[in-house]
Amino acid sequence: MESNLKPISSEPEEEILRILIADDNDSDRLILQTIVRKEGHTVYTACDGQEAIDAFKKLSPDLILLDALMPNVDGFQAAREIRELAGENLVPIIFLTSLKDAASLADCLDAGGHDFLSKPYNRIILKAKIQAFARMRRLHETVQAQRDEIVKHNDHLVHEQQLAKVVFDNIAHSGCVDAPNIKYLLSPMAVFNGDLVLAARKPSGGMYVFLGDFTGHGLPAAIGAMPVSEIFYGMANKGFSLQDILQEINTKLKRILPVGVFCCACLVDFSFRNETAEFWLGGLPDVFVYRDGSAIEHFASQHLPLGVLAGDKFSTETRLIPMARDDRFYMWSDGILEEVNEKEEMFGEDGVLKVFDRNSDPRLFFGELIAAVAEYTNHAEQDDDHTIVEAIMVAEEELGEYFSDQDSRSLIGGPPDWSLSYRLRPLTLKEFNPLPLLTHLLMEVPGLRPHSGKIYTILAELYSNALEHGVLGLESDLKSTPAGFAEYYLQRTSRLDGLAEGAVIFHLDHKPIENGGRLTIQVEDTGPGFDHGEKDDGHKTAGYCGRGIPLISSMCESVRYLGNGNQVEVVFAWSFDS
């Protein structure tokens, strides 16, 4: 934010003011008017209090010289009204008086005068007073302008933060945090929240729920939440594993956060079908599981927070626990457990267990807990962001309605039904590895992501067979001795370098089936093929070769050779359950 606050201006030697003189005595007024005018100021005059008030309304002078005793409305009354009219602007009022007793002089100031000047006037004192009040007036104006500036900036800042928060909330709290089996409380102590609750449904069914607590609170803490939620939703929707997501978030945070800023977190993978919860917990308080309305278990953090350890030291080891129907999983940021009562004692896990002891209906536990914390702190201002999440193990059908609009099982959000042919000619075969590209393309199919390892292996084995045996004409028998093994790969390199014709063609075909899909991969080469009658019966695994096809067979529904053996077709059937 740029500051437009101006420094208090250095005062010009003699400021020209517009001065109102109110005196019922014509000669006094005339004398004063003459003196003041000689100093270079502009003078307005009034003959009584009422005229002074009217003149003030009309002319808003910079300074007023006001006779105390006047007919009609006297000086005291006029001073009060003028101060009222001036509002927060400073209009110095100097009383003109022939009164000498202390009480009368004090009355002048009580009525709202800033000073008094005794008759007869001393020209030097009058001049000095006018200049002194001119300075005071300028000071007042400066302070006022600065205050207005600060108010404006603050309004602007709050407005900006509120706008940013809308964007932030849209990013951070999208997903399915409002699913019927999730309850959460996010209570930030500033506009922005350093705590983060995310939930996403997995393409394979099940649900990821994430709670993060960044060091600190407010805007600096909230900024880290943006990449976390982007990664979380991006990867969760594509079906990445819990481990992959954690690894990615950790790597990102390690890279972007300054040392000393990190994110305590819990990521849970709820499988409604298997009735399990797999979770990773780093740096947050123990998570609790309220079982069967009767028992409570807790599990301690095993890991450092996210964003602390570099990639190779970071562990994604998780714990897998059974969760029966209606079991409740609780996680929270430390803010809520560290709230203190009047004796500075923390609510803590004991507080949670006390609420549990009193609880008779698990459905009310969440609300009772929040009420208990509020009561414990006697509803004092919270010291940190408060976040608590309850996730209930339900039957998947119970969520059906909530997800019906965005049901990922209908394969919305990616291409489920398509085919393609991809012909790789010599220049490409020499220079380019097509496997990452093809794998990437296949991973766009919703739900296929968890199978990426297998699919890569299948593509890689089929491709090297087609290229090496088909196009390059290398014999696998060569690989039966150590020397031959080396020779094989030497020949592979030299033959590929000299390759002038030939091609490998991939035909990929994906069709959705109920609860999954069927991927057919055909790989064809321009080689002479081989007699595959024998291969179909019993694959030869001897020496240092021949392990590719058995590897594929173990992963696929079927593997068969077509044509004259220069074509192989593999069917990979997958379901959301596996």
Please say whether the beta carbons of 48 and 24 come within 8 A.
yes
At closest approach, how far in Å is the CB of 578 from another protein? Answer: 13
Task: Choose between 273 and 547: whose C-beta lies nearer to another protein.
Answer: 547
Cα–Cα dist 126/118, whole Å: 10
Q: Can you tell me whether residue 211 is helix, strand or coil?
A: strand
Rounded Cα distance between 16 and 26, Å, is 24
Distances (CA, A) of 452 to 433, 435, 460, 574: 17, 11, 12, 11
Closer of 168 and 488 to another protein (Cβ): 488
| Closest to another protein by CB, 295 or 542 | 542
Four-point Cα dihedral 110, 116, 119, 123, nearest 10: -170
Cβ 460 to another protein shortest distance, Å: 5
Q: Could you tell me the two tokens for 234? A: 């991006």
Sign of the Cα pseudo-torsion (305, 311, 314, 318, in order) = positive
**Taking the complex as a whole, how short is the minimal distance between the CB of residue 526 and another protein, in angstroms?**
21
Least CB distance from residue 554 to another protein, whole Å?
5
- Kindly state the tokens that stand for 199: 């939930």
Q: Which residues pair with 511 in a beta bridge?
A: 518
Query: What is 341-394 written as a DSSP string?
Result: -TT--B-HHHHHHHHHHH-S-GGGHHHHHHHHHHHHTTTPPPSS-EEEEEEE--
Cis peptide bond N-terminal to 120, omega within 30: yes
Cα 473 from Cα 488, distance rounded (Å): 11
Considering beta carbons, is residue 206 or 484 the nearer one to another protein? Answer: 484
Residue 420, beta-bridge partner list: 508
Q: Give 306's strand partners.
A: 263
Q: What angle do CA 108, 109, 112 make, to 5 degrees?
A: 100
Q: Which is nearer to another protein, 179 or 442 (CB)?
A: 442
CB of 216 to another protein, least distance (A): 35
Nearer to another protein (CB atom), residue 73 or residue 472: 472
Cα torsion 21, 26, 31, 37: sign: positive
Q: Which CB atom, from 102 or from 483, has the smaller least distance to another protein?
A: 483
Rank residues 409 and 479 by Cβ distance to another protein and give the closer one.
479
In whole angstroms, the minimum distance from the beta carbon of 509 to another protein comes to 24
The answer for residues whose C-beta is within 8 angstroms of residue 159's C-beta and 6 or more apart is: none
Q: Which one, 99 or 545, has the nearer CB to another protein?
A: 545
Which 3-state string (H, E, C) describes 270-325? EECCCCEEEEEEECCCCEEEEECCCEEEEECCCECCECCCCCCCCCCCCEEEECCC
Min dist CB 438 to another protein, Å, is 15
The letter for the amino acid at 278 is E
Minimum CB distance to another protein, residue 407 (Å): 29
Nearer to another protein, 241 or 428 (CB): 241
Name the CA dihedral angle for 69, 74, 76, 78, rounded to a multiple of 10 degrees: -140
Q: Closest distance between another protein and the C-beta of residue 151, in Å?
A: 58
CB of 430 to another protein, least distance (A): 14
CB closer to another protein, 98 vs 481: 481
Render 58-88 in DSSP notation, one character per residue: HH--SEEEEESS-SSS-HHHHHHHHHHHHTT
Closest C-alpha to 169, from 195, 201, 206: 195
Q: How far is the CB of 489 from another protein (least distance, A)?
A: 5
Binding site for another protein (CB under 8 A): 312, 453, 456-457, 460-461, 464, 479, 482, 485-486, 489, 492, 543-545, 547-548, 550-551, 554-555
**Least Å from the CB of residue 453 to another protein:** 4
Evaluate whether 474 touches 490 at the Cβ level (below 8 Å). no
Instruction: Calculate ∠ Cα 81-83-86, nearest 5°.
Output: 110
Q: How far is the CB of 422 from another protein (least distance, A)?
A: 20
CB of 292 to another protein, least distance (A): 33
Q: How far is the CB of 270 from another protein (least distance, A)?
A: 21
**Which residue, 312 or 381, is less far from another protein as judged by CB?**
312
Nearer to another protein, 485 or 530 (CB): 485
Q: Using CB atoms within 10 A of its CB, is residue 401 exposed (0-12), middle (13-18) or buried (19+)?
A: exposed
Q: What's the one-letter identity of residue 60? A: S
